Structure 1
Amino acid sequence: MNNRRMNVRNANATLPLAIRKKFDELQERLGIPFNNHALLYNAFTHSSYVNEHRRKKFTDNERLEFLGDAVLELGVSRYLYSTEPTMTEGELTKLRAAIVCEPSLVKFSNELGFGNYILLGKGEEQTGGRMRPALLADVFEAFIGALYIDQGMEAVTPFLEKVVFPKISVGAFSHVMDYKSRLQEIVQQNNNGQLQYEIIEEKGPAHAKKFVTVVRLGGHDLGTGLGKSKKEAEQEAARHAIQELKSRQVEGEN
């Protein structure tokens, strides 16, 4: 088994110099130098490339994708568990599913420019495979799998903190959560008073209008939200209000 693994690593390491230089640029741009460069190359190697270079015995990224999927779920689960103490198990599961779903992974992959580095066969390249959503999502997971093998969660977590977690903290996945209901439950549990939502501003032209909403508790502003609809703005205001209540709780405990 050890010899087989060594052969796989060596095979992937024999990529043309020009391609290896591109991956050197990627590592420098990400600020993540790999110890085993062949793992990085492997993460971006599509099965179509392997099929067209059978004599060189390259390995595709499907196994790394399998591992990366599990590592990503673990990383996101740990983050949500520590940052969302008021969420139920069902709510945590729903939010995690939105974060690790294919459309989200495609966005992460595109933001990092991963499509430019995928090794494709000529046929896959000609049919637009480089921009295929499933392929981009797979590469993102495979990269995480490769990084995990190369450097462990100690490197994966900082990567997620740069690429994934900021999207969660700014409410990019608010559309899948009912923050208004959560806020109402928190307020009722503590008998804090009556919640009121008010649109305080409308921005932009009629065809791209955005709404600014404030949620008040007992007459005092608790959170402000911006959204493309009144409902979205209210959900965002509620999310910020929950964060405010959590910070007050922490300050009270200290």
Structure 2
Amino acid sequence: MMNRKLMYVLILASLATVLVVNYYSPLESLWMLLLIPAIATVVLFPTWKATITVGLSGFFLMVITEFAFHQEQMPYQHAADLMITGAVEWVVFTVISSFRIKVARLITELEHLALTDPLTKIYNRRYLDLYMEKAIPLSERREDPMTLIMFDIDHFKTINDTYGHNAGDMVLKKVTRVIEGIIRDSDVFVRTGGEEFIIVLPNAPLEQGIKFAERIRKTVEGTRFVYKGKRILVTISLGITEYIKGQDLNQFIEKADQGLYRAKETGRNRVVVI
């Protein structure tokens, strides 16, 4: 936050300096100093919309200010030099902005890759850790309920051994898509590894979570999974628990994991509450 404030101060200070310098100097080339606040702005807002807006604003500021400062002594040559300076400045600014935008997009893509599972495209365990660092204190402060569902795909190893790993990948992706069609926008859906998943339901009491978990179980059970013309029967087992004040993330997950273990031990394709 402090860095952004410093950038705003830099933009305003450098813009004021440019205006003062060009008020006292007849050199058109000094308007190139506008690149400083312009580039600083694009560093904060690395988009083409910001680039075009800042570029045009800087050009018009230069022309209007120069006319206001030196209108009584503005020969054609001076105006021509001013246009050349503006054009050169625009080219330099566009090239630098283009590089900054590409870097920003690359950083965004890398961050997205670091926080998502490459197969299913949903969040991974690293994202869950980062999310829960904020979600748990917020839940405690507001005294909002929060429910966690842990589930895995029943007999997934058998599916891989019988139909092949490509079939297993298909099942993982289709289960993910089916559940994505059910969860709320506020819910957090994570693949923690292998065939194991976690769903965090913020602001949802245990009773609501149980109904939701049962809906997921029935939806997966009723979905057709077909690989190379062969029907694959897919079910899931789920453990569910509600957050208790004072728990850390590992304790929260461990309770849901205990429910998942019991669901598997007692016949699978069921929801167990802990």
Q: Shorter-chain TM-score: what band?
A: under 0.3
TM-score when normalising by structure 2: 0.25
Please tell me whether Structure 1 or Structure 2 has the larger radius of gyration of its CA atoms.
Answer: 2
TM-score when normalising by structure 1: 0.26
